[in-house]
Structure 1
Amino acid sequence: MESASATAATALEGGGGGGGGGNTLSEIYQNAKKLQLRSRDALERVERVEYSSGGNLESQTPELSASIKTDLTQIQSLCVQMDRLCRSLPSKSHRDLWKRKVEQVTEEAESLKQSLDKYFLRNQKRTMEAKERAELLGRANGESHILRIFDEEAQARQSVRSSARMLEEASLTGEAILSAMSGSRNNAHRKALDVLNTVGLSNSVLRLIERRHRVDNWIKYAGMILTLAIVFIIWRWTR
Structure 2
Amino acid sequence: MEGGGGTLSEIHQSAKKLLLRSRDGLERLERLEYSAPAAAAVSGADSELSFAVKKDITQIQSLCVEMDRLWRSIAAKPQRDLWKRKVEQIAEEAESLRASLDKYNLRNQKRMREANERAELLGRANGDSAHVLRIYDEEAQALQSVRSSSQELENANALGEAILSSIHGQRERLKSAHRKALDILNTVGISNSVLRLIERRNRVDQWIKYAGMLLTVIFLLAFIMWRH
Query: TM-score, normalised to structure 1's length?
Result: 0.48
Give the alignment's Cα RMSD to 1 decimal.
4.8
Which of these residues, 197, 206, 226, is aligned with residue 218 of structure 1? 226
Stretches of structure 1 lacking an aligned partner (at least 5 in a row): 1-11, 183-213, 222-239
- Which letter does structure 2 place at the counterpart of 1:147? V
Matches within 5 A, 1:30-49: 32-49=50-67
Note if 1:71 corresponds to 2:102: no
1: CA distance between counterparts of 2:92 and 2:168?
18
Partner of 1:97: 138
Q: Alpha-carbon deviation of 1:54?
A: 9.5
Which of these residues, 199, 206, 209, is aligned with residue 158 of structure 1? 199
Deviates more, 1:99-108 or 1:120-129: 120-129
Tell me if the contact between 2:64 and 2:91 (Cα under 8 Å) persists in the aligned partners.
yes
From the superposition, tell whether residues 216 and 71 of structure 1 become closer, same or farther in structure 2 (CA, over 3 Å).
closer
From the superposition, tell whether residues 94 and 156 of structure 1 become closer, same or farther in structure 2 (CA, over 3 Å).
same
Q: Alpha-carbon deviation of 1:143?
A: 3.4
Larger relative contact order (Cα-Cα within 8 Å, sequence gap ≥ 6): 2
Which of these residues, 93, 96, 110, is aligned with residue 84 of structure 1? 110
Partner of 1:25: 42
1: CA distance between counterparts of 2:215 and 2:63?
87
Listed one character per residue, the Cα deviations across residues 107-140 of structure 1 (whole Å, up to 9, x for unaligned) are 2332344345446655765676576557645644
1: CA distance between counterparts of 2:140 and 2:223?
128
Tell me if the contact between 1:43 and 1:65 (Cα under 8 Å) persists in the aligned partners.
yes
2: CA distance between counterparts of 1:167 and 1:161?
10
Stretches of structure 2 lacking an aligned partner (at least 5 in a row): 1-31, 75-79, 120-131
Q: Alpha-carbon deviation of 1:92?
A: 2.7
From the superposition, tell whether residues 105 and 38 of structure 1 become closer, same or farther in structure 2 (CA, over 3 Å).
same
Tell me if the contact between 1:43 and 1:68 (Cα under 8 Å) persists in the aligned partners.
yes
2: CA distance between counterparts of 1:127 and 1:152?
38
Query: TM-score, normalised to structure 2's length?
Result: 0.50
1: CA distance between counterparts of 2:158 and 2:134?
36
1: CA distance between counterparts of 2:97 and 2:177?
40
Aligned residue pairs total 171
From the superposition, tell whether residues 45 and 94 of structure 1 become closer, same or farther in structure 2 (CA, over 3 Å).
same
